[in-house]
Structure 1
């Protein structure tokens, strides 16, 4: 073998060796970025859930306060009516005393003095009742204003929540209609806790152990993306899930964690590349084998879950405002 042949073989081997290394480095970089994104979105999801729970607690407390306020107002109103009755009786008594006083003006000074004292005591009682009645009127007016304000605020909150619920139900129907052709092929659409979960079994999307989406799976994802592209007030997390069978490989994906992340990333890319969806509102995450839906059915656990969450910014702003 001459020197030219040796150099050619050496150059060929060097080129062949560079390609896998470059691909490996690219996958390593993508995997690290996906892990960072996953941590960020997991934190955001926890924060969102906490804020939603806090909002629900605050709405519940407001309703409880409103009930207490209504009960107190009813009590004040009862007292007000009772004092009105007492006031009328006192006024009637005062009229009787004044009539009696006029008839005994010519009587002795002792009887007249006693009658004057009795009349004065009645007038003092009358004034106290009138003062209390005036205070109750002011309290009732103040409570009525607070009641009206609280009722209006609760109605506003419940109206926004209802709109979000109605929008979620309508979106669920649109998604289910778009995926009708894949209904018996491992796709389910459910609404739970105000979110929409689109679950796609891995066998529809990926060959075993692979991260590239097949033709049928790509069509289903595009149909879904077309429905979601017109939704401007939602956030989407695409989660990859695997079964418990270990995946060990020198190449990528190396294990179930990496497989779940890379599959979720592949789904996100297809949806973004084939629609007008806003990339700011969609993210990819990997959950590996740790969130199974059926411990007896590995096929169901190997899946992609697309979780669609309504944007509750308006509600959070309203609940936190005074």
Structure 2
């Protein structure tokens, strides 16, 4: 720019003092115009660069704002992560302690059930030994669902259509009572069952329901009144014809279905307390 002004000054000075040739003058004028064009180009470039600088400054400001925003979010995430980690650690400890308690209770329940099964097996063995002489008359002893079932056919206990226990049946119940008296923790349920034939000519006994209930009651009375087993241990129920063990309709099947089942189950108060 200084060079342009110097040349312009020189041209003016010479034009006032010296007469320039046309060629020289045109050369100077061309050089002046070239410098002027260069100056304009430089100014345009400077203006473009200034705009670029302003744009870059604006972009930089946006980026700094975005960086600050992201840093804030990262800080928040770090805080949340630390909180979650602390909570997770606490929750894991709580769950672990709860699992240990559950495992301990499960072990107690399993121990009680093992004891129950051992006691049930021992009771079955004692009863089978005590009642061995009656098995040919239709008496069976077996375990079902953790309980001992002593099944006595009606011909072992009663005459046809009767609710009065005969002498052979009393002998079987006496042997049974000897074992039950040594097992005070055993509950006793006496169930009467009949076949599907209609009751006829039995006086006050109206149907199979009556017959099954009265036979069960006769057994309970014998065990409590004669054998002196605690009344609180016994219950009597009649099932009628509705829980047969043989589904056929032959005389043998009907005979199997006419029975008294004495169901012996251990008291599980300790187990019930654990699973409350």
TM-score by length of 1: 0.55
For residues 88 and 210 of structure 2, what CA distance do their matches in structure 1 show? 70
**Structure 2 residue aligned with 1:142:** 94
Summarize the alignment of residues 177-256 of structure 1 with structure 2, pairs less than 5 Å apart. Answer: 177-249=129-201, 251-256=203-208
Query: Runs (4+) of structure 1 moved beyond 4 Å?
Result: 127-140
Summarize the alignment of residues 1-322 of structure 1 with structure 2, pairs less than 5 Å apart. Answer: 138-249=90-201, 251-296=203-248, 297-320=253-276
**Structure 2 residue aligned with 1:38:** none
CA shift at 1:274, angstroms?
A: 3.5
For residues 93 and 206 of structure 2, what CA distance do their matches in structure 1 show? 71
CA shift at 1:136, angstroms?
A: 6.0
Q: Is the CA contact 1:246–1:256 (under 8 Å) kept in the aligned structure 2? A: yes
For residues 160 and 221 of structure 1, what CA distance do their matches in structure 2 show? 30
CA shift at 1:223, angstroms?
A: 0.6
- Structure 2 residue ranges without an equivalent (≥5): 1-74
**Structure 2 residue aligned with 1:26:** none
For residues 241 and 95 of structure 2, what CA distance do their matches in structure 1 show? 57
Q: 1:290 to 1:138 in 2, by over 3 A?
A: closer
Q: 1:131 to 1:207 in 2, by over 3 A?
A: closer
Q: 1:249 to 1:147 in 2, by over 3 A?
A: same
For the aligned residues, what is the CA RMSD? 2.8
Q: 1:152 to 1:246 in 2, by over 3 A?
A: same
CA shift at 1:234, angstroms?
A: 2.5
Q: 1:250 to 1:233 in 2, by over 3 A?
A: closer
User: What whole-Å deviation, never above 9, does each CA across 1:274-296 have from its counterpart, x for those lacking one?
Assistant: 33421111021222222211133
CA shift at 1:230, angstroms?
A: 2.4
CA shift at 1:133, angstroms?
A: 7.0
CA shift at 1:157, angstroms?
A: 1.6
For residues 94 and 160 of structure 2, what CA distance do their matches in structure 1 show? 70
For residues 144 and 285 of structure 1, what CA distance do their matches in structure 2 show? 48
CA shift at 1:138, angstroms?
A: 4.5
Q: 1:137 to 1:168 in 2, by over 3 A?
A: same
Aligned residues, how many? Answer: 201
CA shift at 1:139, angstroms?
A: 4.8
Q: 1:294 to 1:135 in 2, by over 3 A?
A: closer
User: What whole-Å deviation, never above 9, does each CA across 1:124-155 have from its counterpart, x for those lacking one?
Assistant: 9xx98998876665555434322322211111
**Structure 2 residue aligned with 1:41:** none
Q: Is the CA contact 2:188–2:264 (under 8 Å) kept in the aligned structure 1? A: yes
- Structure 1 residue ranges without an equivalent (≥5): 1-123
Matched residue of 1:221: which SS?
Answer: helix
For residues 164 and 262 of structure 2, what CA distance do their matches in structure 1 show? 17
For residues 255 and 147 of structure 1, what CA distance do their matches in structure 2 show? 55
User: What whole-Å deviation, never above 9, does each CA across 1:174-222 have from its counterpart, x for those lacking one?
Assistant: 1111111112210111111111111101111111111111111110011
Q: Is the CA contact 2:199–2:207 (under 8 Å) kept in the aligned structure 1? A: yes
Q: 1:216 to 1:136 in 2, by over 3 A?
A: same
Q: Is the CA contact 1:206–1:214 (under 8 Å) kept in the aligned structure 2? A: yes
For residues 305 and 272 of structure 1, what CA distance do their matches in structure 2 show? 17
For residues 135 and 253 of structure 1, what CA distance do their matches in structure 2 show? 72
